[in-house]
Structure formats: structure tokens, C-alpha cells
Amino acid sequence: MESTQDLSNNTTLTSTQQAQIMAAADILRAGGTVAFPTETVYGLGADITNASAISKIYRIKQRPVDHPLIVHISSLSQLAYWVQEIPEAAWTLARHFWPGALTLILPRSRHVPDNVTGGQDTVGIRVPAHPVALALLDTLGPHRALVAPSANRFGRISPTMAAHVQEELGSDVDMILDGGACDVGLESTIIRICNDSVTVLRPGGIPLSALESALDQPVTLAHKAISAIRTSGALPSHYAPDTPLSLYPAEQIWQSALKLAHENYRILVLTWSDTNKIPPINPFIEHYSMPSDPIAYGRQLYAQLRQLDHSGFDHIFVEMPPDQPVWLAITDRLERASYNQFDKKHEHK
Ligand code: TXA
Ligand code: MG
């Protein structure tokens, strides 16, 4: 078996993990699919050079084929192979944040097939920071890459643990590599660079303020209503649990929960602020207190929502996060998770 592993990425891996990575690489080379951990969320990976493996990804995810996939590469040195040009701002950001939770949208080179980009002439690309992902990419070797969306069905919550992938995709995926709980817990920040102006298409693991200080220039946030860009995270309803979820300001949340509790709905209330630590006594209301630190909150959010989804609640009420830039990615995901949910649940009642 070919071995092109760069051991610098593998120092934290056990020999069992290394053997599993070898097996995963074999599956990928044979046109199979492998779910793998990244520092953001788990990805559902296929070899970029294998068209039938890529169509399996779309089928498994039940994702529209014009929604492009992110290309995962092992290091910055691989970037030039997959893209046509690298603007100065892209170099700066890649040097600063890779490996890490930043996806750059750049003009694609001829090496990126049409079925990856949904026909667009740009490609989304990043170097993930998880040692298992990096070792897998190293094992595949140069001029190979993993195309991978998050390993969930279209529109649903991204998995942040191997067990979530198992529950969501089961035997549809050929192998699941277990790399523990994802450190960031939210997807990567997606950036488009055009004539050196930098736009955030999806807020994520890297905050805007960090981008701005690395670039020493302001960064704009694409308006949520821009739907001409086929970013699935830009669809209003996304990242959604089955249980309807609503967002409430701190001062309204208990009153609103009590209203539904009086109609015998079981409500789970998720808060983060100190002022909301003590729930009213009501048998239909349960309370979970999230961290008040955005990094810790982001790490837990999807796992919590997934667990709450299985707990038989009629509704999840979430306290609005603070209106501050470091909370942007969390607020974005909660807004999409809550989109239309309340109306959907109660219009027939
Ligand atoms: O953290 C992440 O980004 C995770 C891990 C697995 O890397 N991946 C992820 O992939 O979230 P996915 O497919 O669930 O979301 C990627 C988003 C999609 O909304 C897709 O439309 C957008 O990136 N995207 C990819 N290529 C694009 C392009 N050329 N132009 C605009 N959007 C693009
Ligand atoms: Mg996704």
C-alpha cells in the first residue's frame, strides 16, 4: 500500500487510529464514502477525482446537485493546484487561519470537476485542523482532496460526534472515523474575495473581528436575503431540529413558555444569561442553562439540540444570544433553526 503520510500531522494519533485512517483511504480510493472528524463538524467525504463517489454524497445527503461542496486539502502548499488565482487577501487569511475553520471561495482551476462546484466557476476550499482529517488527507497524497459537506441530511443539524453521524446516516456511509467531539462545534466561516474586498457568506468558527485584524481592513457580511449564491446555509430554514424551535428575548422567554405550558405543551427552555438561571415552577417546563461564553456555547449547541430533539418536548424555546459580533455564527444558526417553525407547529391547532 502506498504510504505518503507526513508524520508531523500524526503525532497525536494512536496506532489503531492510524490503521483506521489507512482503511478509510482505501475505501476512498475505491470510490466509497467516509465520514471524518474536522475541528468544526463531521464531514461526509469522497475522493475529488471520483465522480461516482461524489454523486453518492449528494444522494446520501439528499442535497440538490447545484449546491457546491467544500474541498478539503492537507496544506496551504496544495492551494495553487485547485484554484486559478490567489488574491493577496486570500494568502493573508490562509496563512493566518489554516489549518482552521475558514473556507475561501476562489476561482477554480481545471482540476476541480463540475460536479463539485454545482457548475459555478468558483470553489470553496479549506485546510481542516483535526489531526485525523489531516492524516487522512496526507495518506491520500498530493493532488488528491476530499470533497465533504457536513455529514447530515440536507437542512438538518450538523454532527459534532461520530455517534451523531451513525444516527443520521447509518449504513449509507461506508465508514465513520471517530475523532471525538468537534472542538469548534459550528461550521467554518465562508469568505468570498472579490477585487480584494472580503465578504462573509456564512459566519462560522472564525469570528469577523479576527478576520479584520488579520487583514487590517473591514470585512462585510453578505445579507441573508442574497439567495443568488447557492450556499445551502443561506437558505432561511437550515440547521433545524425536528422539534419546533423559537427564539425569545431574555425578558419574554418565561412568560411565553408559561403560556404554552398552560395549554399542556412540554417546553424546554434554553438560556445563557445569569438573569434567566431560575425557571418558574411548572411541570410542563424544563430548563437547561447554556454557557455564557460563545466558544463554549458554540461547542455544545448542536449536540444539545440533537439530544433535546429526542426528549419528547413539544417546543424548544431559546434565549436570544447577545447582539455582539462574537455571537454572530450562533445567532445565525439559531435563526435558521427557528425559521417558520412556530407557525408550522401551531397553524393546525
Ligand atoms: O465546517 C465546514 O465548513 C464543514 C466541514 C465538514 O468542513 N462543511 C460544511 O459543508 O459545512 P456544507 O456543504 O454543509 O456547507 C458548505 C457550504 C454550502 O452551503 C455550500 O453551498 C457553500 O459552502 N459553498 C461551497 N462552495 C461554494 C462556492 N463555490 N460558492 C458559494 N458557496 C459555496
Ligand atoms: Mg451543512
User: What percentage of residues in the chain have a pLDDT greater than 90?
Assistant: 83
Determine the atom of ligand 1 nearest the C-alpha atom of 187. 1
Q: Is the pLDDT of residue 7 over 50?
A: no
Q: Is the pLDDT of residue 188 over 70?
A: yes
Number of neighbours of residue 156 by Cβ within 10 angstroms? 20
> What pLDDT score was predicted for residue 4?
37
Length of the chain: 349
Q: How far is the CA of 236 from the centre of ligand 2 (A)?
A: 13
* Strand positions, DSSP E, the chain: 34-36, 43-47, 70-72, 102-107, 122-126, 146-147, 175-176, 189-194, 197-202, 220-221, 245-248, 267-271, 285-289, 315-319
In this prediction, residues 6-21 reach a mean pLDDT of: 77
Nearest C-alpha neighbor of 210 from the set 85, 320, 101: 101
> What pLDDT score was predicted for residue 275?
76
pLDDT band at 277 (very low <50, low <70, confident <90, very high): confident
User: CB within 6 Å of ligand 1 — which residues?
Assistant: 38, 40-41, 43, 67-70, 103, 105, 117, 120, 122-124, 128, 148-150, 187-188, 190, 201, 229-233
**Cα–Cα distance between 204 and 104 in angstroms, integer?**
12
Mean of per-residue pLDDT scores for the chain: 90
For ligand 1, atom 21, name the residue with the nearest CA: 231
Determine the atom of ligand 1 nearest the C-alpha atom of 150. 14
In this prediction, residues 113-123 reach a mean pLDDT of: 94
pLDDT band at 8 (very low <50, low <70, confident <90, very high): very low
Give the closest ligand to the alpha carbon of residue 240: 2
pLDDT band at 196 (very low <50, low <70, confident <90, very high): confident
Looking at per-residue pLDDT, the higher value among 236 and 171 belongs to: 171
DSSP label at 76? G
Q: How far is the CA of 44 from the centre of ligand 1 (A)?
A: 12
For ligand 1, atom 17, name the residue with the nearest CA: 231
> What pLDDT score was predicted for residue 344?
47
Give the closest ligand to the alpha carbon of residue 124: 1
> What pLDDT score was predicted for residue 342?
47
Q: How far is the CA of 44 from the centre of ligand 2 (A)?
A: 10
> What pLDDT score was predicted for residue 279?
78
pTM above 0.85, yes or no: yes
Instruction: Indicate the range of 123-127, 145-149, 220-224, 316-320 predicted with least confidence.
Output: 220-224
In this prediction, residues 152-164 reach a mean pLDDT of: 96
Instruction: Indicate the range of 2-16, 61-75, 314-328 predicted with least confidence.
Output: 2-16
pLDDT band at 235 (very low <50, low <70, confident <90, very high): low
- Long-range contacts, 3-12 (Cβ 8 Å, 24+): 3/139, 4/138, 4/139, 4/140, 4/141, 4/142, 5/135, 5/138, 5/139, 6/74, 6/138, 9/74, 9/131, 9/134, 9/135, 9/138, 10/131, 10/135, 10/138, 11/131, 12/131
Q: Is the pLDDT of residue 234 over 70?
A: no
Q: Is the pLDDT of residue 227 over 70?
A: no
Determine the atom of ligand 1 nearest the C-alpha atom of 188. 1
